[in-house]
Amino acid sequence: MAHCCTGSWRAPVYFTVSVILAFIAISTSMHSKTEQPSSPTKLNFHELSLNASKALRKAGFNVMATLLQVSPEIFLLSPNSTIFAIQDDAISNSSLPPWLLRNLLQYHTSPLNLPMKDLLKKPRGSCLPTLHRQKNIAITNIDFKETTVDINNVSVTHPDVFLAETISVHGVLEPFSSLDPEDVHQGWNSIQAPTCNAMSVLVSDAVKSTNMVEWSWIVRLLSSNGFVPFAIGLNSVLEEILKDYKGLNSVTIFAPPNLQSLTSPSPLLKRTVWFHILPQRLTYNELTALPAGTLLMTLVRDLSLEVAGTAGFKGGLIINGIEIVAPDIFTSKKFTVHGISRAFEVADQVAAIGT
């Protein structure tokens, strides 16, 4: 009986996986907003996703294993991750469109590294953040005797499928949220998140207080996507940013393709990099809505950038005489990065940083 059905899952599973991956590839190339994996090197990142994928496949989570191996950017968007793997039949039998399936997968991924021993330490009712924006998952039951945990009333059936320094992977009995295809038009809101209690609010606040702006993530995104000189410059002045802007909780970065000869720490490098950063998050649409002549405060307290309007028909927005050629290339709730054609000129400015 079991033998006759050995390969029965393969056709719908691989069809679903191929559709999801095709959607992700198309959306990435069209919008150039890919939230890239945050790994010190590409080699380490791919080794990590490959090893986690092998462990998932060995445990019987073939769809999640394939997705993690081929498109790890769905899951690994932060320095740390916990993935709650969904059973094959739950994904292959779903009639949801690929874009909503991707949301569902990210709702099953937390930007925290939580092996089973750490999950068991959490108070019942604690909420955990996910990669699905503004949606949490909740620990609804803990059985210390059986060492089991329920999340959103779903049992973690395969704890510690894969563990590493920055990632934990667990298998769950079923999806954390039941998405009715009839309500698919609701998009983000169709995932029903649990209500956090007071204890979970403390957990959330602790996470926010230790990671106001994801600077290390930003540096990696820049360095792995063609903005290496600026990434190096930003990394060299990060300590001073953290010291002088302790309450900073959001930024806008204008990333140039190069910084000419500014390759080593110096007052000019610091001044140049800071002049490309706003202490607030402004998307491209928000910038274009500003009247021409609007001044934007930068991290250089005495210097501002000026909005000058768009460059002709279908031209990009002009800031300080420089065109934004790649708007919103990287975004999160706390930052957005716009690619500009060349670096802003600051050498002829007389104001000093921090005065």
CATH number of the domain encompassing residue 85: 2.30.180.10
Which pLDDT band holds residue 312 (cuts at 50, 70, 90)?
Answer: low
Tell me what pLDDT residue 65 has. 92
Tell me what pLDDT residue 161 has. 96
Question: What φ, ψ does residue 197 adopt, rounded to 5°?
Answer: -95, 180
Tell me what pLDDT residue 29 has. 38
Question: What φ, ψ does residue 330 adopt, rounded to 5°?
Answer: -135, 135
Higher model confidence: residue 51 or residue 206?
A: 51
The answer to whether residue 226 is domain-embedded is: yes
Asked whether residue 281 carries a pLDDT value surpassing 70, the answer given is yes
Tell me what pLDDT residue 194 has. 65
Q: Are residues 102 and 153 in the same domain?
A: yes
Q: Are residues 90 and 140 in the same domain?
A: yes
Which pLDDT band holds residue 260 (cuts at 50, 70, 90)?
Answer: low
Q: Pick the range with the lowest mean pLDDT from 83-92, 152-161, 209-218, 224-233.
A: 209-218
Tell me what pLDDT residue 35 has. 39
Higher model confidence: residue 355 or residue 115?
A: 115
- Beta bridge partner(s), residue 231: none
Tell me what pLDDT residue 210 has. 40
In the predicted model, what is the mean pLDDT of the chain? Answer: 76
- What does the pLDDT average to over 319-342? 91
State how many domains the chain has.
2
The answer to whether residue 100 is domain-embedded is: yes
Asked whether residue 83 carries a pLDDT value surpassing 80, the answer given is yes
Which pLDDT band holds residue 242 (cuts at 50, 70, 90)?
Answer: confident
Domain enclosing residue 176, as ranges: 44-190
- What does the pLDDT average to over 87-103? 75
The one-letter amino acid at 18:
S
Tell me what pLDDT residue 256 has. 94
How large a percentage of the chain has pLDDT more than 70?
A: 69
The answer to whether residue 15 is domain-embedded is: no
Asked whether residue 244 carries a pLDDT value surpassing 90, the answer given is no
Q: Are residues 249 and 331 in the same domain?
A: yes
In the numeric block, which tokens belong to residue 48?
């990590």
The answer to whether residue 35 is domain-embedded is: no
Q: Are residues 141 and 229 in the same domain?
A: no
Tell me what pLDDT residue 140 has. 87
Per residue in 7-28, pLDDT (tens digit) is 444 444 455 555 555 454 444 4
The answer to whether residue 314 is domain-embedded is: yes
- CA–CA dist 351, 26 (Å, integer): 45
The answer to whether residue 164 is domain-embedded is: yes
Per residue in 189-214, pLDDT (tens digit) is 556 666 655 334 333 343 343 446 88
- CA–CA dist 261, 269 (Å, integer): 9
Higher model confidence: residue 216 or residue 282?
A: 282
Tell me what pLDDT residue 160 has. 96
The answer to whether residue 351 is domain-embedded is: no
Q: Pick the range with the lowest mean pLDDT from 285-289, 298-302, 349-353.
A: 349-353
Tell me what pLDDT residue 42 has. 38
Q: Pick the range with the lowest mean pLDDT from 150-164, 166-180, 187-201, 234-248.
A: 187-201
The answer to whether residue 148 is domain-embedded is: yes
Tell me what pLDDT residue 249 has. 85
Q: Are residues 157 and 284 in the same domain?
A: no
Q: Are residues 239 and 286 in the same domain?
A: yes
Q: Are residues 181 and 229 in the same domain?
A: no
Asked whether residue 306 carries a pLDDT value surpassing 80, the answer given is yes
Q: Are residues 140 and 213 in the same domain?
A: no
Final residue in a domain of this structure, among 190, 220, 237: 190
Q: Are residues 51 and 186 in the same domain?
A: yes
Higher model confidence: residue 256 or residue 16?
A: 256
Which pLDDT band holds residue 134 (cuts at 50, 70, 90)?
Answer: low
